[in-house]
Amino acid sequence: MSVPYREWVHFNVATLQSESDNHPYWAQNAITKWTDDHYGYGIIGAHRLGATSYRSWFPLIIPSDKDFKLEDGMDEIVDFIHQAMFAGEQVSDISVLMKIRANIFRDTIWNPEKVTGKHYDGTNPWSVYPPLYRNYAYDRILRWLELPRIITDLNFMSCFAGTGIEANTYQNDLFSKGILIESMNYDPILGIGDIVKISYVPHSLKIRYLNPVVNSLSQCYSPTAGGVAIILYGLGFNNPDSELDENAWGCPGVAGWQDLVDYIYLEGLQGQGTTTLTRAVHFSVDSNSQITIYNLPAMSEGSYNIKLEKRTTFLGNIFAYAGDWLCDPDGRVRRGSRMSFLVSDSYVEKEFRAKINPLEFLDIRLKDKSGNYINRHLAQIDICTPQTFYEGRILSISPVPRKIDDKYGTPLIADMDIKVANPDRYFSKLITSYIFKNQEADLFFAWGDEPFGWRTSVIKLFITDISRKGAECSIKFRDILEKYFSKIIPSQICIEEEYPNIHPDHVNSYMPEIIGNSFLLSGEHPGAIKAVYVDTSNYTYLASRGTLIGIDQVYVDDILKSTPADYSVFYARGGRTYIRFTGDQGDAIVKFNSRGYAFHAWNSANGYIQNPAYVLAYFVVFLCGQPMAFLDIIDIDELKSYFVDLNAHESGKFPVEDEKSAMNYLRQLLFSFGTKAFIKRDGRFTAGVKSKCSFSDAVKIYDQIDCFGEPDRQENLPEAMTTITARWDWISSENLYKSGMKDERPELIDYYDTPIEKDRRKDPLLV
């Protein structure tokens, strides 16, 4: 994709239910036509109750990440692209075809915990009925027989054709109120008693922007006389009209988008004024990713911000500062640090830095009880940067640990302390009004009189504790990784409040999470995953918390059952996967084999996640809850290619039924895949292959996932061993590994006159 974009994958979801007296679409224009039922998950479809009465469902979604908002420099959108999973829950005996549409919602900011068809917060009614929305969105066809199915590119244009400047009429509604999904044009038309009820699970929301992004400069300083040529590298300097037109419905008209950077402003930060550069006179837009400034003019000494401007016919003036946002080659945008340009006749980088020590800076983001954020900026001495004052309150900073466990491939995370001055009870007062724990912070350093925009990020942290002692406070931090990997997985259990008819033996059972293939077809006890008996009245078992692409075999006390004679598979409550039997199975053990979860960008050719790299990515983002913006997808894609080259791109799997910490599971995944992971200085999670010289080609020990061949002696272990017991292909339903073997080196045993084997009692990965 050559247009800058941001992407979100965590959502608040709710469903509005109507009781219509005309047709199953959006025409219910009175509060009495809506119900007060609250659904905290997505349902779409309709149920024809009588000749002129219908019940209909309309999901609302909005990303739950705190950074889902219009921000300076990323504030003029092109469109959104929404992907979602639709899975069949209930349908009459008909082959249904229907249209799905995504719309920008335009009524009131709604409460995800309490919203209903009547009330946006469980108490107060919507402003009008039906709630307003904008329906200029592309339709997509959904066929019942094709479910489960990922619908891609449910699109919406923020501006639309008209006269004058549209100024992105509906983008504020998108970021504050979200999206409404509707269905329409049922074929065949529903008969009395017919029902089409479909689980809707949002997967991602990708928003494309017209704002340009500058990743780097060919040179960061110039003499006062100018005459220096500078190249700006980035994206969005001249987006192809063909890509912008993708969902435009004629929005730009005959003239096109005029989507070029027209002006570059060099804004003096010490009162030098602003120097304006004009396209064709001072610079050229060489491509969508490169701008060349021919010769910088003469300027006064000092540092400068670099501001870009586009002047578009339909959206008005669009601005961005160099460095505020960065993007990868695919166009995925993430928050950066504003760059600056130095004009000086005396500056020599190496000589300057050799004479001084760097200064350390700390940015802390705090939240009050209402959810509002403030930023506090700290340094070792009072420093006034061009835009921010840093209070000189830092007394000391403990060493910054950055290390990877060579055996398991996981980062070793240690506590870090920063002591700050508190003689005036400054922090004591903050503690009473703001939440410190679990809030984020950035540590970075800069050199003396260099432009502040040249600062270097050290580590992204989060606060674990704060203590006061006398005239100082100690703030305890950990690496941002720990914030997402300290949770327990699986994260949800089956409780009586949600499943009142659950079998007594299954109360508080964990909801299985299944990525990749989970199959056990042979042996005394076939079936890889145990199902949870959640409804004894309707003979229903929970197979997975998420939407499985398919369940291929179902066993009851090791006897293979057939569908539809014995059971059927359906999806409900936000896409959970269920098995419903035609009769009661009593206390029998129900197990099954399945194909696991899907995510549109990470699926194999088989339509679901199988590549080990994407198994790892899905675990980190969807099971651990890390924001997509904190995932280095370029490195993950490189790891994906590595497994493709090994012909192992369909071997990854990760079935989870037992409670463990996310870090424990991460350790097993990394060890199994022969990979390592760490957090980059900007806070992004990345993973790569351990040193390839440590392994014979395509021979690794996969005790959790798989094994591609006979196990070789594991390298990179601190202990010397001549014998190793390897197990692989874990089957959680039987608490066993499908395969395993002992690998020995007889010549070494003879030499030492005794085998040396790993103490498996101390290493759960080899048990």
**Domain end marker among 209, 238, 264:** 209
| % of the chain surpassing 70 pLDDT | 83
> Is residue 471 in a domain?
yes
> Is residue 81 in a domain?
yes
Q: Give how far Cα 41 sits from Cα of 115, 153, 202, 514, 596, Å.
A: 11, 21, 10, 20, 20
Query: What is the structure's pLDDT at 114?
Result: 95
> Is residue 608 in a domain?
no
Say how many C-beta atoms besides its own lie within 10 A of residue 192's C-beta.
Answer: 10
Q: Using alpha carbons only, how large is the chain's radius of gyration in Å? A: 29
Query: What is the structure's pLDDT at 632?
Result: 92
> pLDDT: is 623 or 314 the higher one?
623
Please say if the pLDDT value at position 482 is more than 80. no
Is 503 found in the same domain as 453?
no
> Is residue 423 in a domain?
yes
Backbone φ, ψ for residue 24 (5° rounding): -80, 15
Q: How far apart are CA 555 and CA 566, in angstroms?
A: 10
Average pLDDT over residues 368-385: 85
373-379 and 389-392 beta bridge pairing: parallel
Query: What is the structure's pLDDT at 743?
Result: 59
- The structure tokens listed for 620 are 């980190």
Say how many C-beta atoms besides its own lie within 10 A of residue 402's C-beta.
Answer: 15
- pLDDT band for 374, please (50, 70, 90 cuts): confident
Q: What is the mean pLDDT of the chain?
A: 84
> Is residue 78 in a domain?
yes
**Domain end marker among 286, 320, 343:** 343
CA of residue 475 relative to chain centroid, distance: 28
Domain count, the chain: 5
Q: What angle do CA 558, 561, 565 make, to 5 degrees?
A: 160
Which range among 225-239, 369-383, 681-695 shows the weakest confidence by mean pLDDT? 681-695
Is 527 found in the same domain as 466?
no
Query: What is the structure's pLDDT at 764?
Result: 44
> pLDDT: is 107 or 534 the higher one?
534
Encode 406-427: b = buried (16+ Cβ within 10 Å), e = exposed.
Answer: ebbbbbebeebebbbbbeeeeb
Q: How far apart are CA 631 and CA 484, in angstroms?
A: 12
pTM above 0.95, yes or no: no
Is 236 found in the same domain as 134?
no
Is 119 found in the same domain as 35?
yes
Average pLDDT over residues 643-671: 89
- The structure tokens listed for 693 are 């010289």
**Domain end marker among 312, 343, 374:** 343
542 bridge partner residues: 532, 578
Is 382 found in the same domain as 337?
no
Is 286 found in the same domain as 148?
no
Average pLDDT over residues 165-178: 79
- pLDDT band for 746, please (50, 70, 90 cuts): low
Is 276 found in the same domain as 173?
no
- pLDDT band for 257, please (50, 70, 90 cuts): confident
Average pLDDT over residues 462-478: 88
Query: What is the structure's pLDDT at 249?
Result: 58
Average pLDDT over residues 51-71: 91
Please say if the pLDDT value at position 356 is more than 70. no
- The structure tokens listed for 638 are 């490189």
Average pLDDT over residues 150-164: 63
- The structure tokens listed for 382 are 């009072």
Backbone φ, ψ for residue 242 (5° rounding): -60, -35
Please say if the pLDDT value at position 321 is more than 70. yes
Please say if the pLDDT value at position 696 is more than 50. no
| Contact between residue 171 and residue 47 where contact means Cβ atoms under 8 Å apart | no
Is 461 found in the same domain as 444?
yes
Domain with 741, as residue range(s), is 632-675+692-766
- pLDDT band for 170, please (50, 70, 90 cuts): confident
| Contact between residue 187 and residue 96 where contact means Cβ atoms under 8 Å apart | yes
Instruction: Work out the widest C-alpha separation in the chain, in whole angstroms.
Output: 89
Backbone φ, ψ for residue 255 (5° rounding): -75, -10
- pLDDT band for 62, please (50, 70, 90 cuts): very high
Is 190 found in the same domain as 55?
yes
- The structure tokens listed for 400 are 């910054």
- The structure tokens listed for 247 are 């969902």
Is 32 found in the same domain as 176?
yes
Query: What is the structure's pLDDT at 367?
Result: 84
Is 437 found in the same domain as 310?
no
Which range among 538-547, 564-573, 679-688 shows the weakest confidence by mean pLDDT? 679-688
Please say if the pLDDT value at position 754 is more than 60. no
Query: What is the structure's pLDDT at 163?
Result: 43
Is 508 found in the same domain as 478?
no
> Is residue 205 in a domain?
yes
Task: Report the candidate in 652, 661, 577 with the shortest Cα–Cα distance to residue 617.
Answer: 652
- pLDDT band for 157, please (50, 70, 90 cuts): low
